Structure 1
Amino acid sequence: AQVFERRRDFLHNVSTTLIKNHDFVAAEELRSKNMLKNHALAMSIADVGWRTFLGMLAYKAELYHRQFLTVNPKNTTQACHECGFVMGTAGTEKLILADREWTCPKCHAHHDRDHNAAQNILTKGIIKLA
């Protein structure tokens, strides 16, 4: 029970901070059911409580008159945010979870995997918002 309360408190603090400090927040429509099939991620994903967190973001956005929406996660990690090239196409290998940095074979932009994905999620969110 104590771990549950700490986790819930943490999620409340993070979600409140995000919503209060930003007019617009976008997140992936994470399909945790599919992600739980990846045994390397399963425990971490189950522990974090994705659905709970997204639910908190949604109701707090409404409470604080902010915009929150989710976007399709397709290619958010695999696509170059500079030129749109998608890894795993044109004879390239898809990125694997261990690939934390990569260079686009088309435009040669160097990416931190998470930062690149965040930029792709934001772009998808802005497009969806329009």
Structure 2
Amino acid sequence: MLKAYRYRIYPTDEQKVLLAKTFGCCRWFYNFALNLTNETYKATGKGLSRNEIINKLPELKKEKEWLAEVPSQALQQVALDLSSAFLNFFEKRAKFPKFKKKGNKQSVRFPQGIKLDDDYLTLPKLKKVYCKVSRLPLGKLKSVTVSMTSSGKYFASCLYDDGVDLPKQNSEGKAVGIDLGIKDFAITSD
């Protein structure tokens, strides 16, 4: 079963600069990929898959050197987020994906190269970030989402898999609805 734990992190000034660059690059790449997908759809009638978007990254990093300064895993997660946004749109769970603007809350997700040791969280290119760990989780660390609030505080949401399967729903037997009332104490549906 997946469980998430949220910790307050305290990056150094250098790490804050790199996080700000990462937030900005991920937002730029999301908007670039959304625009490219829209233009491709208008021209050919087909959009771009997640892998096609990710395959654009190496040539983009050569054109724009500042993209190479941030962790590539975070940029690849942007492509995953965009493909999920389109999937939700086509399955009528959400509206059409919108361009991202610099808002109050910014976040970035790291799926690899992460580790939580005592009071430090290790992230790609950021190295060790001091972390206020309130409880040590059990299981395997799957991903970390680093977010910054509008007040400038940084948090890390760590997603863990504890290896326990979800409990199965019991569909055996008869279900009874109970209505508690004022006039009558309890009324059942059977």
Normalised to the residue count of structure 2, the TM-score between the two structures is 0.22
**Structure with greater proportional helix content:** 1
**Structure with greater proportional strand content:** 2
